[in-house]
Structures are given as C-alpha cells and as structure tokens.
C-alpha cells in the first residue's frame, strides 16, 4: 500500500539511514558490523557502491573493532581518550551508513544528505554521551562510567536492529534520543562546569 506513495523508497531509505546514524552515535563500529553481517548473509540489500561492506574482510574487521571498542570503554580514563575521537569517527560512520541506503539519488545529493542528516545525527548523540560520561567521571570518580558504557552499547545494538527491521520506529526513536541527549548532555556539562568552578574557588 505504501509503495504507491511518491518517493516512498527514498523516505524509507532516509529512515533506515537515520536509525543507523543514530546507532553510530552510541558506538562507531557495532552498527557497521550489524550492517556488514546482515548484508553478508543477504538479509538486507546493499547499494553496489558499498558492496565492500558485505564482504568477509569488512565483516571480520568490523567485528574485531566492535569487540575492542566495547571492551575499551570499560577501562577507566581510556574511555575519555576514546571520547576525543569518537565524535569525528561517529560523524564519518554515520555519514557512510546513511549514504549506503541511497542508490539512485546522485553523488552530490547523496553525500550532502549523508553529512547533514547522518553525520549530524551521529555527532549529536556521540557528543552528548561524551558530556554525560565526563559528568559521570566528575561526580562518581568514574564508577558510573560502566553504566554509561553499557547504555551506549545497548543503544547501538537496539537502534541497529530497529533501523533494519522497523525503520520508521527507529527514526522516531532517533529523534527522541537526539532531544534527550541534548537536554541531559547540556545538564551534565553545566553540572561539570559548576563543580569545576567550585573547585577552582577553593
């Protein structure tokens, strides 16, 4: 029924792309591994320009990178080092996964949309959680960071599955997550700055 809606395929691709981009905001490599796995077993189609994602080398590489990324975020202080590069990496990964969902849009519109919608979504969520982690370190001495890390991993997994299985729901969740991350991320940064100013005044 929805197939008769004008440009529905592009709309659906955008929903999938937004969901995957949001997932990369939580974890960079897990969504790429999920897409690589799904395309390798032909569970989802893959744009011919991104067939490298469905190959065995990409599947093995993203799988190893996923495990390493997840485990590293449980190491104190190292997780903050990762946060310094997670935002640009998430922006790139979100843009690539968003662009991979469009086949006939044209190179410039494809990547322009990918950078704005995909990269922007991923960067917003990634930077928000980086702020939350920084506040967690300041207020709990790093003890609460494992909770933040587990939440990010779960979010990446859930959003990756939803993006491929229920893209409309994934897009709605992505929008909600962006709003929540902005709100709580700003609160966390304000709290962190407040604690820093209080320490400096002592």
Cβ neighbour number for residue 145 with a 10 Å cutoff: 22
CB 62 within 8 A of CB 36: yes
pTM (2 decimals)?
0.86
Tens digits of residue pLDDT in 102-113? 766 677 788 898
CA angle 21, 23, 29 (to 5 degrees): 95
* Residue 6 predicted with pLDDT over 70: no
Q: What is the pLDDT of residue 56?
A: 95
pLDDT band at 4 (very low <50, low <70, confident <90, very high): low
CB 33 within 8 A of CB 156: no
Tens digits of residue pLDDT in 20-40? 999 999 999 999 999 999 999
């Amino acid at each position: 029924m929805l197939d008769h809606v004008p440009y529905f395929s592009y709309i659906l691709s955008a929903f999938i792309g937004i969901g995957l981009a949001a997932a990369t905001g939580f974890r960079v490599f897990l969504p790429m591994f999920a897409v690589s796995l799904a395309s390798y077993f032909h569970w989802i189609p893959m744009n011919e320009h991104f067939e490298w994602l469905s190959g065995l080398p990409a599947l093995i590489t993203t799988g190893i990178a996923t495990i390493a990324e997840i485990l590293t975020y449980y190491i104190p202080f190292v997780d903050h080092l990762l946060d310094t590069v997670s935002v640009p990496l998430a922006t790139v990964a979100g843009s690539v996964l968003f662009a991979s969902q469009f086949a006939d849009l044209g190179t410039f519109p494809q990547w322009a949309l990918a950078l704005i919608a995909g990269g922007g979504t991923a960067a917003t969520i990634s930077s928000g959680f980086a702020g939350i982690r920084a506040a967690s370190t300041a207020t709990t001495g790093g003890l609460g960071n494992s909770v933040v890390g587990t939440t990010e991993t779960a979010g990446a997994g859930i959003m990756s599955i939803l993006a491929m299985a229920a893209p409309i729901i994934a897009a709605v969740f992505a929008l909600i997550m962006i709003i929540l991350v902005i709100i709580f991320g700003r609160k966390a940064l304000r709290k962190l700055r407040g604690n820093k100013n209080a320490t400096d005044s002592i």
